[in-house]
Amino acid sequence: MNTNSLIHESSPYLLQHAHNPVDWHPWGTAALEKAQKEDKPILVSIGYAACHWCHVMERESFESEEVAAYMNEHFVNVKVDREERPDVDQIYMDAVQMLSGSGGWPLNCFLTPDGRPFYGGTYYPPKPMYNRPSWLQILEQISNVFKTRRKDVEEQANQLTYHIATSDQGKSQNTLIGLDFEQPFEAEELEGIFQKVTKYFDAVDGGFGGAPKFPGTMSLQFLLNYYHYTQTEAAKEHALFSIDKMIFGGIYDQIGGGFARYTVDKKWLVPHFEKMLYDNALLIGVMTDAYKLTKRDLYRETIEDTLAFVEREMLHPDGGFYASYDADSEGVEGKFYVWDKSEIDEILKEEAAMFNRFYEVTEDGNWEHKNILNREMTYRDFAAKENMPVEALKEKLQKARQQLFEVREKRVKPGLDDKIILSWNAMMVTAFAKAYQALLQAHYKDIAVENLQFLFDKFAVGENGELKHTYKNGKAQFPAFLDDYALLLEAIIEVFQISFDEKLLEWAAKLTNYVFANFEDSKSFLFYYTPKGQQDIVLRKKEFYDNATPSGNSTMAHNLLKLSVLLDEPKYHERAVQMVKSMEESISKYPTSFARWLNAMTFLVFPLQEIAVVGKNAEVLIAELQQLFTPNKLLIMDEKGESMHPLVVNRYMEGKTLIYRCQNFVCERPVETVAELF
């Protein structure tokens, strides 16, 4: 059996390639030094464990002895798990997008021996097809060009590297003269941006745009927030309609809970079956607000079932959440999740007919002659159509789903990427904290608190705030990136909102100081993606876009608004205003690509509400407040008059529990009930 250098790695994706005949190396200075010593071009091939087309290209090309022999002779071959090294992925994804106008994974980029990109693409077939040359043809062409036209290669590499380095410019404004920190944006501007967002609405199937269709959770969050402040019905209606359609669709696992990454169609029916930790975290967050707003059972049940999936399938026994589940099992995409009608009929017997009607199961199937379970109707509407009580219907369907779940558990499961990523874990901690606030299930609070402590214990390096990015097999590795710090700070703030443990504020102060010291760009109001001093990348970039996950910069803007109060640091509020204001043009032009930035802008139009609850019954009143959908609120609790936080100090009155609503530490007359507050 072949074995290469990846055998010493912990990433499941890299280990998948450890027995390829290709002489793969992990990313690092050793590979770069080898390329320079041998004067060979570097092939950096980037993917992740749940990537379907990465598996396809491995089977077709990287397992071929002929192809591997050519790669080994002419290139230094480097495999990168993009989830371990998103900084490397960013640089070479930018290069491929500049060269071809599109990107994706697997990402295959060719570099000079010192790491500058000069050519690249995504998936290449084993033979010429899909209007693409074969992988071997590409290799031969690149090798020939590198040997015979080296000057052209160097020129192309210099130009690409320059354009990548300067691509950050223009997305933000570096000079803000005469900025009004109290009112940097007007409500009219926000209304105009909302109107732009409506142009992306899919009024038929929900969500934004056409196929492939992604959840767009940060845009949905904006719609709910915008509705709260303006009572614009269209915002609420489209957000809830979109969430409903996802819950009813194939993107949601109707049997086991949890959401897939996206669907290949616009109706949410056919998922790309991989399940990512971050998607489920973000969807939980927006569903908790939908539940607070409506108190609909649909949202509560979906939150509960999704978190049950996360606990059952993605939570390490010692703490921490795994990264993802693959789309494939037994080499076939979606095999674990789809059903033949005959199989369901045999399992459910006399209950099958009703189940099949509800979940639209047919003999012919709805995808490649198989059935992806989905539904069109609410329980209430279907029960009325079937002339039966709603609760009886729900009980029958729940029993049927459990029977199918038990059978499905005996199938070969998709591959699990069991590395623990700091930023994604922080997002799931935030999700559990938000679920606790919405549903007041103590179990969710326990998981949030315990897993936040796990992140402190396993990812922190020393006492100065330095963190690592991933953890597996007892080892944390790779310097943490901006989004690791930003999303961990967000998790700290959210857990503080349910625990009121002031030790968390010490962590928040330490991490915030570290971010400013190691990530700040002195020429702008924003932060670099990588810490200063990193040696194995060709350039330092800033990340602006809110893509599948929110950007570290937009998240830091949110954090700083709240930390300015929690840590009593007015300069943090000023920096948050500067950050969002510097992105104003980009937010206005492309609101769905900068949706968390847009939410930060919303919170600068409608400022933070600081709510302090002081007295022996504070916990009861806090629980009431937590269940209300009131975006951009910050809760402080002091039951015994012992806290020294400026919002509550000297506000304790023996025998009373008082609620103070404040802004910039200036408080209204206190009230004694939540009803009086709103």
Complete DSSP assignment for 388-453: S-HHHHHHHHHHHHHHHHHHHTTSPPPPEE--EEHHHHHHHHHHHHHHHHHH--HHHHHHHHHHHH
* Cβ atoms of 220 and 239 closer than 8 Å: yes
Q: Which residues pair with 416 in a beta bridge?
A: 325
Is the bond leading into 26 cis (omega within 30 degrees of zero)? no
* Cβ atoms of 511 and 460 closer than 8 Å: no
Which residue among 374, 393, 410 closes a domain? 410
- Whether residue 300 is found in the same domain as residue 271: yes
Alpha-carbon distance of 286 to 295, in angstroms, equals 13
> What pLDDT is recorded for position 644?
85
- Whether residue 449 is found in the same domain as residue 596: yes
Q: Which tens digit of pLDDT belongs to each residue from 259-280?
A: 999 999 999 999 999 999 999 9
CA distances for 168 relative to 90, 424, 524, 577, 583, angstroms: 12, 24, 11, 19, 12
Question: In total, how many domains does the chain have?
Answer: 4
Residue 53 has pLDDT above 70, yes or no: yes
97 within domain boundaries: yes
- The H or E element spanning position 311 is helix 297-314
Which residue among 107, 137, 166 closes a domain? 166
- Whether residue 257 is found in the same domain as residue 392: no
- Whether residue 445 is found in the same domain as residue 550: yes
What band does 170 get if pLDDT is binned at 50, 70 and 90? low
172 within domain boundaries: no
- Whether residue 317 is found in the same domain as residue 421: yes
* Cβ atoms of 493 and 499 closer than 8 Å: no
Total length of the chain: 678
Is the bond leading into 106 cis (omega within 30 degrees of zero)? yes
- Whether residue 393 is found in the same domain as residue 421: no
What band does 20 get if pLDDT is binned at 50, 70 and 90? very high
- Whether residue 435 is found in the same domain as residue 579: yes
Q: Which residues pair with 311 in a beta bridge?
A: none
Q: What percent of the chain has pLDDT over 70?
A: 100
User: Dihedrals φ, ψ of 80, to 5°?
Assistant: -130, 130
Residue 626 has pLDDT above 70, yes or no: yes
Q: In terms of C-beta distances under 8 Å and separation of at least 24 residues, what long-range contacts does 4-10 make, across chains too? A: 6/79, 10/419, 10/472, 10/473, 10/475, 10/477
Alpha-carbon distance of 322 to 306, in angstroms, equals 15
174 within domain boundaries: no
Residue 173 has pLDDT above 80, yes or no: no
For residue 18, the domain's CATH number is 3.40.30.10
* Cβ atoms of 52 and 272 closer than 8 Å: yes
173 within domain boundaries: no
- Whether residue 39 is found in the same domain as residue 159: yes
- Whether residue 238 is found in the same domain as residue 386: no
- Whether residue 362 is found in the same domain as residue 423: no
Of residues 118, 156, 121, 160, the one with CA closest to residue 138? 121
Which residue among 410, 430, 448 closes a domain? 410
Domain that holds residue 631: 609-677
180 within domain boundaries: no
- Whether residue 467 is found in the same domain as residue 581: yes
- Whether residue 328 is found in the same domain as residue 456: yes
Alpha-carbon distance of 212 to 262, in angstroms, equals 7
Residue 574 has pLDDT above 90, yes or no: yes
Alpha-carbon distance of 400 to 470, in angstroms, equals 39
For residue 266, the domain's CATH number is 1.50.10.10
> What pLDDT is recorded for position 97?
94
